Amino acid sequence: MATGLTLDQLRLDAEQVLRSNDRGNWTRPSPRLYPHQWSWDSAFIAIGWAHLDPLRAIGELRSLLEAQWETGMIPHIAFDPDVDLSAYEPGPNRWASAGHAPPERLTSAICQPPVHAIALGRIREITVQSRPELVAHIDEAIAELYPKLERWHRWLHEVRDPDGTGLITILHPWESGLDNSPRWDEPLNAVGQSTACLERPDLLEVSNSDERPTNTEYRRYMFLLESLVALDHDQSAAMETHPFRAADVFFSAILAAADDALSELAVIAHHPRSAHSHRTNAALIRKALEHRWDPELSACLDVDLRTGEALRSDTIATFAPLISGCDLDRSAILVERLFGPSYCGSPGLKWQLPPSNAVTSPSFDSRAYWRGPQWAPITWLLWWGLSRGGHGRSAERLRTSALDQLSAVGCVEYVDPLTGDGLGSRSQSWTAAVALDWLAQESSK
């Protein structure tokens, strides 16, 4: 174990992070940099809360789903009206989501990866193991929340994959969750730049601007936002004309795993007939991911839907099939790559954990957000995927290395894989949440 916090101290620290960021029925990702509610953050955060208070964990998801649009989309940000809206950009005025968001709710107008059904299933597993007297209450909550999650998944399958290809289209790099990943360099460089006044309050909350996306990237992000607003968030029109459209293999893989989770939740929620359709959707995605396999790179590749060309980059998205589930031959290749010299096995890494971009890639930058740093929630997704895919020993390698890292750096947003420096914001809730889940595995050994 690395010097720094003991496991017991890490547990206390992670719990304190969640409690200090608790806003009553939802949790801010961090005290200053992210003062609102983020969609996939809250899914991971709910898993952490389940180890402290399963009913509070349910409340985390319930509060997020209160911001769900009538269409079924879960927006990636639900803004806190009690926070100075200049504290984060782009704020709700830029998104112009009134008339789409629920009445009196301020939201963004794009989405993030659908981890929510996975989180709800994990909450139940944790409750069964640690608080069996609450399982009936959790099952009642599953029956309540299942219809909303079903609408969310249906929206993704029908609106973001209208041709039934099995791959989900994203309309903004932020929807991928991996904002400035090199995956998006090529299509993003073809996008114009906003001429509106650019506010960057995020740069005030980090020690160095090289830890965040560049101003040029932000101007392109804002250009895409303005394009969606100009269409009044018409998804059908955006799917045809929007200047950024990409088939995202990592997002799709998470949806496949979430569809599997939703099929199990459907049975608990007394919708057994729906379970089959969720499994069918998951199988369609897995088949589509197989078609996106590039044997030369041994990677699963995204597609630029404006050009029809594969986006040939070697990033963490390579390992999408380990999250969705895949056959043993494919998973064996991917596990070997994961622990090989481009990723966890690189001799220069402080901890053997997956960087967000291959260390051997020309675009690798150990400090620049999603262009190289290690992120605990992404490690959690791979750990969880390996565990359910029968690769328990490999999953355990990730878990123990992750606890080593977090014991040394604490609940930071992300980590420089070469120096081991904690980067981004401190007291990051989703990092604390996955730490609590990993620590629970330690306790059960």
Calpha distance 254→176 (Å, rounded):
11
Exactly one of 150, 413, 416, 437 is catalytic; which is it? 413
Q: Which residues of 378-398 are buried (b: 16+ CB within 10 A; e: fewer)?
A: bbbbbbbbbbbbebeebbebb
For strands 302-304 and 77-78, give the pairing.
unpaired
Tell me which of 150, 179, 211, 314 is the catalytic residue: 179
Neighbours of 14 (CB within 10 A): 28
Token pair belonging to 67:
């911001």
Q: Chain centroid to CA 420: how far?
A: 22
Tell me the C-alpha distance between 190 and 192, whole Å: 7
| CA end-to-end span of the chain | 16
Asked whether 406 and 10 are in contact (CB, 8 A), the reply is: yes
Establish whether 179 is a catalytic residue: yes
Asked if 226 is an active-site residue, the reply is: no
Per-position DSSP letters for 375-420, written without gaps between them: -HHHHHHHHHHHHHTT-HHHHHHHHHHHHHHHHHH-S-SEE-TTT-
Kindly give the residue spans of alpha helices, DSSP state H, lying in 292-338: 320-324, 328-338
Catalytic center residues:
179, 413
